[in-house]
Chain A
Amino acid sequence: MTELIEILFTVGLWASVLRIATPLIFGTLGALLCERAGVLNLGIEGIMTFGAMIGWLTVFFTGDLWSGVIAAAVCGALFGLLHAVLTVNLGLSQHVTGLGITLFAASFSYYIFRLAVPVQGSPPTVEAFENYPIPFLSDVPILGPTLFTQTPLTYLAIACVVILAWVMARTPLGLAIRITGENPHAAEAQGLDPIRIRIGCIMVGSALMAVGGSFLTLAAFNSFFPTMVQGRGWVCIALVVFSMWMPLRALLGALLFALFDAYQLRLQTVVGKAVPYQLFLMLPYVLSIVALVLMSRRARVPQALMKPYRRGER
């Protein structure tokens, strides 16, 4: 029994929490941005897959890690543009379009990957991001090896949280985005263009999702294989509800989620064969559902979420 608690006091656990959380942070921020502007983006799962694939492929051919991240962001934004044209300009069902984009982006990733890298015995690998200990801070006991010894992408994720939180709460742009998600007619009456704002948010949001995907192949692992995103995108959609559409709470949600995930991984080694490992693997998904149910009552959903906006139509 004490072993179960001891796990909580290992540095390894806490270091891995941030690592597990990183793709979730990117994905949740991306989905949150889209939803704040009033558009549900269920393309997330596919966009993360594509980001993972194109990021890896770029690094495989160029050897430059940051080129991979940028390629993922650009492709993510393009998929975002496709989602935006269909749901914002045409006003199609956000549910069906998002799923369509997920199916398309995922299968397109697999196709491109297979074209570029024919089947081999073991999947080829790249030099992934190394941990980058932040000078001085990483020497702090406990916090140093956990918080400040991570890959640059993790630091980037945290920076994005702070930036997005500031933009949403404190800047004219954030206000414009929020009002677009609450009532696009109000935005239009103030001379803003809700359509452009939505398109912009979906593109930036989708870019974040794709960067989250690229973390999987460029930092967490060093190779790409189909179905590697494993429902992380859907978890992010649940985390957005949990976060009540606030970036800082999204960070909290992602960390909590990652803590459970990291804990269950270690628990498996302790408990061994007594409990089937599948039960542990189910936990994150069960947890997401529970979080959704608990938060559904308190959540203040953006009022215009999933309501298409057409100029001159009420």
Chain B
Amino acid sequence: MNSPAPSSPVLSLVGISKRFGPVVANEDVSISLAKGEVLALLGENGAGKTTLMNILFGHYMPDSGSVTVKDTCLTMGRPRDAINAGVGMVHQHFTLAPNLTVLENIMTGTEPLFALRARTGAARAKLATLCKRFGLAANPDARVSDLSVGEQQRVEILKALYNDAEILILDEPTAVLTRPEAEKLFQVLRTMAAQGLSIIFISHKLNEVMESADRVVVLRGGRVTAERATSATDKDELAALMVGRRVERPKRGDALRGPTVVEARGVDVTVKSIKVLQDIDFSLHRGEVLGIIGVSGNGQTVLAHLLSGLAHPGAGTLTVLGAPLGRATPSHLIAKGIGRIPEDRNTEGAVGDFTLWQNAVLERLGDSRFSRWGFVRSRPARAFCDKIIARFDVRGGTPDTATRNLSGGNMQKLIFGRNLLDGPAILIAAQPTRGLDEGAIAAVHSEILAARSKGCAVLLISEDLDETLALADRIQAIVKGRLSPPVASTGLDARRLGLMMAGEWDGLHAV
């Protein structure tokens, strides 16, 4: 095995194990990091990358193992110790207080708590020096909630640097960035490494790992499966190491494109007096998948809500199945034959305390099969749920189990099942595979393609390039609330798609 471990590591993790109940998140993981090195921690969703880094930073207590930074052993479970030892972490879900200013966010916890006065002036000066040194611009007095996602990430990085971090950990740093932003980020990371900082970034994207890391550690099922210098490996090998048993994702067959079912012309949507969608045009046909690709926060949530009955069109015309949409409620749309996969399973998709059968029919209580004279007909509802469990292979529960106990993948199968069992005319799938493991992703993909081949019109809203290229017949990018013209996905590559997501729409061949 080719494992070029550094000779005098600034950081070493030895024998880390962590379980959550019956789930093994990390098992006997050992990693070391050299000064000035950029290390990528590569693995699928659920491989245990984030857990490992949270243990390193002291958010979680490991069951066993130790972390050593520059010859000092850290006390486990104490972020303060990690910070003092020079470890900084940029979390995937930023740990910022939106109502406070940039400077306040950065200063918090850096001074003795019971000082009579915060040394704001000194902090401001130090921040300015840091910004200059690493080429990171930031306005110290801006409120964090007014910043873009990219700017917020910069604040997270500055927070770590302000604490004199010498080891920087970034958890999926590019998940929320456009391609140009991501490229800029890696430039900054390179500068930092050149100045002697050591960097670990977590990723599941092979491209950025190959381009930006010196060395890569692959995690699978909570264990280290390989360690390689990027110069001594390639994408194919890494992909094999990351996935292990290769799960075949289903392939898309030819489209049998039918009549138009959704037609949007110049639609605006305003939420809380902010125009979130502007002048959008698209049409959706039976038997096709239309992919809407974009970095999150560009309006796709509202687009999904618009067709789910949670947001309503302002200007423009929006016809669904031959009738104008107007102020339709979710129940109207469901009755019309629209299936809806919510962006966030846990908060929108299901009531955790409810049983599976209750969640299966909650959105269909207007249906005479499941209610009569205001009473819930629980027997047909349980039968409906049983059918979903059997047909969509939901594991880990009976109709009377609390939904909270299902894994993410099984909860998503339940949600797909309740929408697809009746054969909807339209399916709105928002981020359908977010946070799922490879097996569940394949299952979701094949359900989407199966629906398509049955003549269902699918609107796929995703931020995953590979997923969109694999499933969609036509693709439109969403940028700052506007939609690009649609292009055929055949012949499109990730690079071209990346440019579309960054708003470069010139010379697109609309189809």
Contact = CB atoms under 8 A, between A and B. Distances in A.
B113 interface: yes
Contact of A192 (B60, B109, B117): B109
A192 to B, nearest CB: 5
Interface in A171-204: 171-176, 178-179, 182-183, 185-192
A314 B114 CA distance: 29
A182 B83 CA distance: 21
B95 A188 contact: yes
A171 B118 contact: yes
Most buried by B among A176, A186, A302: A186
Given A172-B113, A189-B79, A311-B59, A179 B105 contact: yes
Determine the interface band of chain B, counting residues with CB < 8 A from chain A. Answer: 35 or more
B3 interface: no
A188 B98 contact: no
Nearest to B79: A191
Contact of B108 (A170, A190, A302, A311): A190
Interface in B375-421: none
B95 A172 contact: no
B440 interface: no
Most buried by A among B60, B105, B108: B108
B60 A175 contact: no
Given A187-B108, A312-B60, A170 B95 contact: no
Contact of B98 (A176, A178, A183, A191): A183
A116 B100 CA distance: 50
Given A171-B115, A311-B59, A190 B100 contact: no
Contacts of A173: 113-115
A172 B80 contact: no
B323 interface: no
B313 to A, nearest CB: 26
Nearest to A189: B95
A175 B113 CA distance: 9
B482 interface: no
Contact of B93 (A187, A302, A314): A314
Contacts of A191: 78-80, 82-84, 109
A107 interface: no
Contacts of B116: 171
Most buried by B among A172, A189, A192: A189
A195 B439 CA distance: 38
Interface in A256-314: 300, 302-303, 311-312, 314
Most buried by A among B89, B109, B114: B109
A312 B59 contact: yes
B59 A303 contact: no
Contacts of A172: 107-115, 118
A300 B107 CA distance: 22
Given A185-B95, A190-B83, A191-B80, A170 B117 contact: yes
Interface string B49-82: 0000010010110000000000000000011101
Contact of A183 (B78, B83, B95, B110): B95
A22 B100 CA distance: 31
Most buried by A among B82, B97, B99: B97
Nearest to A312: B60
B475 interface: no
If over half of A's interface residues share one DSSP class (helix, strand or loop), that class is named, otherwise mixed; here it is helix
Given A176-B109, A190-B159, A303 B97 contact: yes
Contacts of B59: 188, 311-312
Contacts of A189: 57, 79, 89, 91, 95, 159
B109 A187 contact: yes
A188 B108 CA distance: 10
A175 B99 contact: no
Determine the interface band of chain A, counting residues with CB < 8 A from chain B. Answer: 20 to 34
Interface in A143-173: 170-173
Contacts of B111: 172
Nearest to A197: B113
Nearest to B106: A190
B481 to A, nearest CB: 25
Contacts of B463: none
B117 A186 contact: no
B177 interface: no
Contact of B100 (A182, A188, A312): A182
Contacts of B109: 172, 176, 187, 190-192
Interface in B99-150: 99-100, 104-105, 107-118
Nearest to A173: B113
Nearest to B90: A189
B108 A175 contact: yes
Contacts of B292: none
Contacts of A188: 59, 79, 95
Contact of A176 (B78, B93, B113): B113
Given A175-B104, A175-B107, A191-B79, A186 B97 contact: yes
B118 A303 contact: no
B100 A179 contact: yes
Contacts of A185: 91, 93, 95
A186 B99 contact: no
Contacts of B98: 182-183, 303
Given A173-B114, A190-B159, A303-B97, A179 B60 contact: no
B96 interface: yes
Contacts of A186: 95-97, 105, 108
B113 A179 contact: no
Given A312-B59, A312-B60, A176 B95 contact: no
A179 B98 CA distance: 9
Nearest to A302: B99
A171 B93 CA distance: 27
B91 A183 contact: no
A312 B54 CA distance: 9
B80 to A, nearest CB: 3
B97 A179 contact: yes
Interface string A187-227: 11111100000000000000000000000000000000000
A302 B98 CA distance: 10
A199 B116 CA distance: 21
B187 to A, nearest CB: 25
B79 A182 contact: no
Nearest to A300: B99
Interface of B: 54, 57, 59-60, 78-80, 82-84, 89, 91, 93, 95-100, 104-105, 107-118, 159, 163
24 contacts: A171-B115, A171-B116, A172-B107, A172-B108, A172-B112, A173-B114, A175-B118, A176-B113, A178-B104, A179-B108, A182-B100, A183-B97, A183-B98, A185-B91, A185-B95, A186-B95, A186-B96, A187-B109, A189-B79, A191-B83, A191-B109, A302-B99, A312-B54, A312-B60
Given A173-B115, A191-B82, 13 more contacts: A172-B108, A172-B114, A173-B113, A179-B97, A188-B79, A188-B95, A189-B91, A190-B109, A190-B159, A191-B83, A192-B108, A311-B59, A312-B60
Leading 9 A-B pairs by shortest Cβ distance: A191-B80, A190-B109, A182-B97, A189-B95, A172-B111, A186-B95, A183-B97, A191-B83, A192-B109
Interface of A: 170-176, 178-179, 182-183, 185-192, 300, 302-303, 311-312, 314
